[in-house]
Chain A
Amino acid sequence: MISLSHVSKRYPGGREALHDVGFTIDSGELAFITGHSGAGKTTLLKLLVAIERPTAGTIIVNGQNIGTLQARAVPFLRRKFGLIFQDHKLLFDRTAFENVALPLDIAGYGAKDAARRVRAALDKVGLLKYEKALPITLSGGEQQRLCIARAIVHRPAILLADEPTGNLDADYAAEIGELFRSFNQVGVTVIVATHDQALLTRLTPRVIALRNGALAEAA
């Protein structure tokens, strides 16, 4: 489903964020990308959704070469993913419902169908009763769950999470971990970039460890 070979990324100015990284993640896997800050976790995720382009090597997602993808095709690549951000990236002038509906608006779902899916996603993360709330009135953990609802509402095949528990205390982090496990159990490929050890021991995922931009070990 996702395969990288000899991928390097050098930013303008000379810093090499990734160096000769290669691995394959199969459909339905639960994989953690671990490493210290600056090890290249975020860069790796950015490469997968074509926010950045690799300077060398090839990245294949669902048979598509991301390195040579035309700009016009990028939005459609991103719709295959559900993206979860450490800072949530919610829109604060819209209600929880409207935030979650965003990917469906973009994909052009009908209003009725969209409303049903949005409520299902909100229910899944336990926020159905807050559908009319503005994100600012929600706690940090709730905001993160809202972000997850938005990421899964269009039923993507792959879930990408960048430090999803970075700002949360242990209880909230455990909740989020359980959510990931449940998505994975219904066949979603889940890729999490994190250095949260508790989450790691809880979920026992496959670990792809990065150290200074290179693969430390591939388990």
Chain B
Amino acid sequence: MKAWLAQHARCFASTLVKLARTPLGSVFNITVIGIALCLPVGLYVLIDNLQAASSQLAAEPQISAFMALDASRAEIAQIETRLKQNPRVQRYRFVPRDQALQELKQSSGLADVIDSLPQNPLPDAFVVSARDNTPQALEAMREEIAQWPRVVHAQLDAAWARRLDATLRFGRAIVLILGGLLALALVAVTFNTIRLQVLTQRDEVEVIKLIGATDSFIRRPFLYYGALQGAAGGMVAWLIVSGGVWLVNHNLGELSHVYASLFQLRNLTLTDSVGLLLLPLALGWFGAWLSVGRHLKLIEP
């Protein structure tokens, strides 16, 4: 057991030496892997952030029910009773048309334009929150309210959020596809690197086979090489993505200063980072394993 561990430790050390002995080639290989990996990972970070932002904004979808402009107080009271009695309504808020106009004036900076209007163009409205916030339930409720008397239009505010959500889901699918393809590329790059190595070390492989090396002993340095190269590529990808996030946040810092808002991109979590180290490591190992298994068979003393 101790001897076995020592063999592995020596193999690990000599693999590092081997990587360092051809610095340019190693750096290029690792950079290629890193750049390939940082594409899906970067996209993942972006989508993760958009998702977080969208869930903040669309925390509570609301239905706005707009009354007819000439609706009477009695008619409005009737709608209010219906809302009060409806068990699916969590709460509602009445926005009288005058108040709506005031709010618009304050928030939009269009005071001059609004003042010049001959009459208030806005209707009375109810803003309704439902108990069940699933898209289907909300849509059903919107349709129901839209059919009530004197309700001209009912609108689901969360529609855009759902569209964003669908887009993000599409984005995640792209991340998966891209990730899968680039994982394949990583395996292929490792396969080729190891193939070249096996062929250039043909003599060495032949000699150690002759003096009694087992296949696993011969395979080990190549597997280590593939795994280390993959892991190093993962680290490069991590550096690129983290650097990108830092750069964006640095610039956002000035921006949010101006707008007095705090929006910061979230970086990769610890779990993400560990995954970004281990997954390329495993893929590199796998590529090396495929390559070595195939090419060692061709070398018999």
Contacts and interface: CB of A to CB of B under 8 A. Distances in A.
Pair from one complex: yes
Given A91-B204, A105-B10, A106-B217, A78 B211 contact: yes
Contact of B212 (A76, A109, A111): A76
| Best-buried of A90, A103, A108, A150 by chain B (most CB within 10 Å) | A108
A106 to B, nearest CB: 5
A105 B8 CA distance: 11
A102 B6 contact: no
Contact of A109 (B3, B206, B214): B3
B4 A108 contact: yes
A76 B6 CA distance: 20
A36 interface: no
B210 A89 contact: yes
Q: Determine the main DSSP class of B at the interface with A.
A: helix
Contacts of B2: 110
Interface residues of B, number: 21
Contact of A91 (B3, B7, B207, B212): B207
A106 B6 contact: no
B163 to A, nearest CB: 61
A121 interface: no
Contacts of B300: 51
A79 interface: yes
A91 B301 contact: no
Nearest to B210: A83
A188 B7 CA distance: 29
B210 A78 contact: yes
Contacts of A138: none
Shortest Cβ-Cβ A-B pairs, 7 listed:
A78-B212, A79-B212, A108-B3, A75-B214, A106-B213, A75-B212, A89-B207
13 contacts: A49-B210, A51-B300, A51-B301, A72-B214, A75-B214, A75-B217, A76-B212, A77-B212, A79-B211, A91-B203, A105-B10, A106-B212, A111-B6
